[in-house]
Chains A and B, each alone.
Chain A
Amino acid sequence: MSGPGFDLARVRADFPLLRQEVRGRPLVYLDSAATGQKPQAVLDALMRYYTHDNANVHRGVHILSERATQAFEDARETVRRFIHAKDVREVIFVRGTTEAINLVAATYGRKHVGPGDEVLISAMEHHSNIVPWQMVCDAAGAKLRVIPVDERGELRMDAVDALLTERTRLLAITHVSNALGSVNPINALVAKAHAKNIPVLVDGAQSVTHFPVDVQDLDCDFFAFSGHKLFGPTGIGVLYGKLAMLESLPPYQGGGDMILSVTMEKTVYNRVPHRFEAGTPDMAGAVGLAAAIRYLEAVGMEAVSQHDQWLLAYATQALESVPGLKLVGTAPHKTGVLSFTLEDVHPHDVGTILDQEGICIRTGHHCAQPLMQRFGVAATARASLALYNTPEDVDALVKGLHKVKEVFA
């Protein structure tokens, strides 16, 4: 595997947060699957927006409202380009992946899932792609079914055909597992589901950050992701939906901007995407997200992907050299997520000791408790990689793990 495909030192320098010491040591940030750090370009865009353009969108007649509206709608176009949606109306701004999935649950779910129906998910879903469907199923008297995962953390594709039944109303599945790093074969899953006229929602929170995504190529009906994991601000996210699908759905939340006209007797709903964006949206968030996307486009998502695979290979080898360490999630096709357990040491203790060395990792169940149960662990320690991570970060992690073993020797 060749090197990063971009100037790693320069990319690193673009992220001001990384230039600090914590607990007397240089910060080693290995928790990007939880949230990504922000490049200067994003911070500047937020500052610029609030300094010059801030006003409410779609309502004012004044110049600031015009500028804010322009910036917000330009951001929508930037997102469209980034995920290769066909039409800008297919991009709905929401708070994050969780809200995007809940939006589909509240609209599509309410309309199409009835008694005796089924919603299909996988065993490697994050809670935000489990709980909304449990809620839909409970309310409708429908059944949640689950595609199993094998020992390495790969989806059991051989089980899919039998699980897609005439009662299945939706397949909701993650693109990349946040706890294992496994990349799911979305194209194959969509083909299987569409052959039975079943729409597919893809949770892309962990995929858009690691490799280029083309929603038209995936042919999924919905695609959800968050701004904050994509090195943009918190509180902004995107639901992509095929235009015809979105137009067929009832409204989500009621309020301003999602209407064309309101009388006390009747409301005429606005067209998509505004129909799904009630209330004042997160304009600054959208502007910041667009800045993050432009930054990633400048680095190049192919290069980001190349760096991810290169560093993942390095880190996998380095961690496997630590005695007593067991990687959880060893699918051949995965992204830079290293979930592991250390013999005789609880992940929480691993996290505390690494933190004393200035190393930030995640420990716990990663909001994927059923998956932890599948692997027979209550929790794992997880180091997750992003474009600004270096082999030195990995070396620091390995050194820190030896320290953990010393404490617990």
Chain B
Amino acid sequence: MSSDLKDLYQEVVLEHSKRPRNFRVVEGATCAAEGYNPLCGDQLSVTLKLEDGVIRDIGFQGQGCAISKASASLMTGAVKDKTREEAEALFERVHTLVTEGPDKVDPESLGKLAVLSGVSEFPARVKCASLAWHTLHAALDGRSTSVSTE
């Protein structure tokens, strides 16, 4: 396997795609949004409970490739108990990571999400990695309409 491919499909990514965390609908959710990638037909929904500006619980459901599922799974873990602003800031950093590469972001600030660094070598897969995050953004915005990566 090429080293780029190894970076893309790191063990953690494959593991999260096979056993996604928080793959459920949050009961009593205060925010929800649907995300959609028309390029591949991938679709996911994010539900979350926002209390006093803090994400108390978050889940996702849907279908997608290994990258989009792993990214969504990692995201739910990373933003739980974070404030809305912290979650948005994390989204910014992840976006920079997958579009511009690991050199542009402080790895410390990313935690486990750093495993998504391989995506930057695969421009065609950036939308897969960011779908869940765009959907989270829409949910936090209180937009109930679906978002699209196009």
Q: Known: A349-B65, A349-B66, A352-B124. Is A407-B41 also a contact (CB below 8 A)?
A: no
Whole-angstrom CA separation of A356 from B6 in the bound complex: 11
Q: Report A370-409 residues with CB < 8 Å from chain B CB.
A: 372, 378-379, 403, 406-408
Asked if A235 is at the interface of the complex by the 8 Å CB criterion, the answer is no
Interface contact A378-B41, CB-CB below 8 Å: yes
User: Does B81 sit within 8 A of A, measured CB to CB?
Assistant: no
Partner-binding segment picked from A77-85, A316-324, A361-369? A361-369
Contacts of B64 in A (CB 8 A): 346, 348, 378
A322 to chain B, nearest CB (A): 18
A337 to B124, CA, bound (A): 23
How far apart are A376's CB and chain B's nearest CB, in angstroms? 11
Of chain B, the residue at the smallest CB distance from A408 is B14
B5 lies within 8 A of A364 (CB): no
CA distance A379 to B68 in the complex (A): 14
Which chain B residue shows the least CB distance to A409? B14
A378-B43 in contact (CB<8A) = yes
Nearest CB on A from B6, distance (A): 9
Q: Is B80 interfacial (CB 8 A cutoff)?
A: no
Judged by a CB distance under 8 angstroms, whether A163 is at the interface is no
State the Cβ distance, A69 to closest chain B Cβ, in Å: 40
Residue of A nearest to B64 (CB): A346
Complex formed: what's the CA distance from A384 to B65 in Å?
22
In B12-45, the 8 Å CB interface with A consists of: 14, 18, 39-43
Task: Point out the residues of chain A lying under 8 angstroms from B41, CB to CB.
Answer: 364-365, 369, 372, 378-379
Q: How large is the interface on A (under 10, 10 to 19, 20 to 34, 35 or more residues)?
A: 20 to 34
Residue A347, interface by CB 8 Å? yes
Is residue A353 within 8 Å, beta carbon to beta carbon, of the partner chain?
yes
Give B15 Cβ to nearest chain A Cβ, in Å.
11
In the complex, the answer to whether A364 meets B40 with C-beta atoms within 8 Å is yes
Bound state CA distance, A270 and B9, in angstroms? Answer: 60
Bound form: Cα–Cα A224–B14 in Å = 44
Contacting residue for A407 out of B4, B5, B65, B125, CB 8 A: B5
Contacts of B2 in A (CB 8 A): 23, 356
Q: Could you tell me the distance between the alpha carbons of A348 and B5 in the complex, rounded to whole angstroms?
A: 14
| Chain B proximity of A363: nearest CB distance (Å) | 7
Q: Quote the shortest CB–CB distance from A131 to chain B (angstroms).
A: 13
Q: Which residues of B contact A372 (CB under 8 A)?
A: 41
Bound complex: CA A60 to CA B22 (Å)? 69
**Do B40 and A356 touch (CB < 8 A)?**
no
Which listed residue (B1, B39, B67) contacts A349, Cβ 8 A? B67
**Given known A348-B128, A349-B65, A349-B66, contact A407–B40 (CB-CB < 8 A):** no
A residues near B63, Cβ cutoff 8 Å? 378
The reply to whether A364 and B122 contact each other, CB–CB distance below 8 Å, is: no
| Contact A364 B39, beta carbon cutoff 8 Å | yes
In the complex formed, the residue of A with least CB distance to B43 is A378
Q: Which of B5, B8, B41, B64 has the most CB of A within 10 A?
A: B41
Q: Per-residue 0/1 for B51-66: is the Cβ within 8 Å of any A Cβ (1 yes, 0 no)? A: 0000000000001111
CA distance in complex: A352, B41 (Å): 16
Q: Which residue in B4, B39, B65, B124 is a CB contact (below 8 Å) of A346?
A: B65
A409 to chain B, nearest CB (A): 9
Is the pair B43, A346 in contact by a Cβ cutoff of 8 Å? no
Which residue of B5, B14, B40, B42 contacts A353 across the interface (Cβ within 8 Å)? B5
Cα of A363 to Cα of B18 in the assembled complex, Å = 20
Which residue, of B4, B9, B40, B122, has the highest number of chain A Cβ atoms within 10 A? B40
Q: Which of B66-125 contact A (CB under 8 A)?
A: 66-67, 122, 124-125
Q: Shortest CB–CB separation between residue A401 and chain B, in angstroms?
A: 14
| 10 chain-A/chain-B pairs, Cβ below 8 angstroms | A344-B18, A348-B64, A348-B128, A352-B8, A363-B40, A364-B40, A365-B40, A365-B41, A378-B43, A378-B64
**Interchain residue pairs A-B with the least CB separation, the first 5:** A346-B65, A348-B65, A365-B41, A378-B41, A364-B40
Which A residues are closer than 8 A to B by beta carbons?
23, 344-349, 352-353, 356, 363-365, 369, 372, 378-379, 403, 406-408
4 further A-B pairs in the complex, CB-CB below 8 A; given A23-B2, A349-B67: A348-B42, A348-B65, A365-B40, A407-B5
